[in-house]
């Protein structure tokens, strides 16, 4: 259980407080408990006490890092309570019973999923490499091949000696998902030696809890929990109960990120796999393992993730600038709208469907929609003219035709006054009407 102000006060010294600028130890302790002060501000607290307080005041769910990826660290169950800390990460499953052609095809498909969306790189973060065959050497060779893709690896292997070899072949930070109630001591030692995160799994939540507690007694708290059960219902119950135990009951034994293998649950049903990946992105998979990942599957899934794991108080925005659509050149017509990400994707999508080349000009409107930005003074003739000047639109674009959103048609005359060289054209009120509008535009 996390310490409160009174608990911290009991551990802090009661003398010489004036030397560190704190009027009373009690006041200082309350500030530390509230996050308004740091323990380092008091020079009289010993290192042992600092370590104890740091662990006790840390989030109930431990933050685990693998390479550049962070998992866990959550403090709330629901996004509306507070922003989530760590986004769900995705993995694609391979195993050592696959032939070389299948493995190569999967790796090529994974390479294709690598793009930017609103300043965030969208790609498959992990490869999940499972040992299913009887040939340990073949498994190590598969791990080496997967390591060449420059992704972090999750190694599902329950033999401690083979796990060490595979971790060495991974060539970087990895997760060894192989600790069970029967082998946790050897697997914990193997993971510690390899400096790898240890994945823990069991046949039931009770067994999983006891196994995690036993591993913690060995001094290993660099863990993730495999919450995958035999059925979808049981798996969902597992992830929810693990998260609730940590965040609502402050039970740090279950305060670790979770792995959910939808590849196992979907049983080769691509549509079911997509649905389950979406479900466990929202509730509460830290790593979701899929059997396949195509570009068509990735687009909606990564879009969902980005919406869930962003600050609800800070709207997603796109970078102001010129976005050529349908191969537009400086000679093609321009259209302008705001930087609110949803508006951008709706408008750009309809412009793409029209098939007409157009330069979409995105101005800074504070992440607001068109009407909201207009009402707040973030979208006006003056702001558009300022954007044109800052971006040197006249120097970069030869066309002098500009389409403005239909919902701010009232700005047409003011924009013409600010940009006298430009012909201002008013678009329809709804984005869905842009396809016909662009095709009819001379």
- What confidence tier does 210 reach under pLDDT thresholds 50, 70, 90? very high
89-98 pLDDT, tens digit each:
999 999 999 9
Considering the domain boundaries, does residue 383 fall inside one? yes
**Residue finishing a domain among 277, 308, 339:** 308
DSSP 48-104: HHHHHHHHHTS-SSPEEEETTEEEE----SSTTTS--SS--EEEEEEETTS-HHHHH
Contacts of 424 (CB under 8 A, 6+ apart): 402, 404, 412, 415, 416
- What confidence tier does 199 reach under pLDDT thresholds 50, 70, 90? very high
| Structure token digits, residue 369 | 């929609």
Considering the domain boundaries, does residue 316 fall inside one? no
Does residue 1 have a pLDDT over 70? no
The enclosing domain of 370 has a CATH number of: 3.40.50.11600
Q: Are strands 152-156 and 423-426 parallel, antiparallel or unpaired?
A: unpaired
The enclosing domain of 202 has a CATH number of: 3.20.20.20
395-420 pLDDT, tens digit each:
999 999 999 999 999 999 999 999 99
Q: Are 188 and 229 in the same domain?
A: yes
32-89 pLDDT, tens digit each:
666 667 767 776 677 776 676 666 667 889 999 999 999 999 999 988 888 898 999 9
| pLDDT for the residue numbered 47 | 74
Instruction: Look up the pTM and report it.
Output: 0.79
The C-alpha atoms of residue 165 and residue 148 are separated, in whole angstroms, by 16
Q: Are 300 and 331 in the same domain?
A: no
The domain tally of the chain equals: 3
| C-beta separation of 113 from 293 below 8 A | yes
The C-alpha atoms of residue 31 and residue 18 are separated, in whole angstroms, by 16
Nearest to residue 162, comparing CAs of 125, 200, 129, 208?
A: 129
Give me the domain span that covers residue 347: 321-440
Mean pLDDT for 262-281 is 94
Q: What are phi and psi of 317, to 5 degrees?
A: -130, 160
Q: What is the three-class DSSP state of 154?
A: strand
Does residue 2 have a pLDDT over 80? no
| pLDDT for the residue numbered 6 | 46
Q: Are 105 and 168 in the same domain?
A: yes
Considering the domain boundaries, does residue 314 fall inside one? no
Considering the domain boundaries, does residue 95 fall inside one? yes
Nearest to residue 225, comparing CAs of 215, 217, 233, 182?
A: 215
Please state which of the ranges 9-18, 36-45, 236-245 shows the lowest mean pLDDT: 9-18
The C-alpha atoms of residue 207 and residue 211 are separated, in whole angstroms, by 6
Q: Are 282 and 133 in the same domain?
A: yes
| C-beta separation of 404 from 336 below 8 A | yes
Nearest to residue 258, comparing CAs of 228, 234, 237?
A: 228
């Amino acid at each position: 259980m996390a310490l409160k102000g009174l608990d911290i006060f009991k551990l802090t010294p009661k003398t010489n407080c004036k030397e560190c600028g704190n009027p009373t130890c009690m006041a200082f302790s309350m500030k530390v408990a509230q996050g308004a002060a740091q323990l380092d501000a008091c020079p009289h607290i010993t290192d042992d006490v600092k370590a104890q307080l740091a662990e006790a005041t840390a989030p109930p769910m431990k933050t685990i890092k693998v390479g550049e990826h962070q998992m866990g660290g959550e403090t709330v169950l629901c996004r509306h309570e507070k922003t989530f800390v760590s986004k769900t990460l995705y993995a694609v499953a391979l195993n050592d019973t696959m032939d070389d052609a299948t493995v190569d095809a999967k790796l090529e498909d994974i390479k294709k999923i690598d793009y930017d969306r609103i300043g965030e790189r969208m790609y498959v973060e992990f490869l999940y490499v499972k040992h299913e065959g009887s040939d340990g050497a073949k498994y190590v060779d598969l791990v080496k091949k997967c390591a060449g893709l420059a992704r972090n690896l999750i190694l599902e292997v329950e033999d401690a000696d083979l796990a060490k070899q595979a971790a060495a072949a991974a060539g970087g930070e990895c997760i060894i998902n192989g600790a069970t109630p029967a082998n946790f001591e050897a697997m914990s030692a193997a993971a510690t030696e390899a400096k790898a995160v240890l994945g823990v799994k069991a046949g039931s939540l009770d067994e999983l809890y006891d196994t995690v507690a036993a591993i913690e007694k060995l001094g290993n708290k660099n863990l993730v929990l495999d919450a995958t059960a035999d059925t979808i219902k049981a798996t969902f119950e597992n992830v929810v109960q693990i998260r609730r135990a940590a965040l609502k009951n402050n039970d740090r034994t279950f305060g670790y990120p979770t792995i959910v293998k939808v590849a196992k649950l979907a049983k080769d049903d691509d549509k079911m796999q997509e649905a389950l990946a979406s479900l466990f992105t929202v509730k509460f998979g830290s790593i979701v393992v899929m059997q396949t990942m195509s570009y068509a599957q990735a687009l909606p899934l990564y879009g969902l993730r980005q919406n869930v794991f962003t600050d609800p108080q800070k709207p997603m925005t796109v970078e102001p600038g010129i976005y050529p659509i349908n191969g537009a050149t400086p000679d093609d017509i321009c259209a302008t709208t705001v930087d609110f990400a949803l508006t951008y994707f709706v408008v750009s999508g309809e412009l793409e469907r029209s098939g007409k080349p157009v330069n979409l000009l995105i101005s800074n409107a504070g992440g607001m929609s068109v009407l909201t930005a207009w009402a707040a003074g973030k979208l006006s003739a003056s702001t558009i003219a300022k954007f044109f000047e800052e971006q040197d639109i006249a120097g970069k674009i030869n066309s002098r035709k500009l389409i403005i959103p239909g919902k701010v048609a009232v700005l047409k005359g003011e924009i013409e006054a600010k940009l006298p060289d430009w012909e201002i054209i008013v678009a329809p009120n709804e984005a869905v009407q842009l396809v016909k509008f662009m095709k009819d535009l001379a």
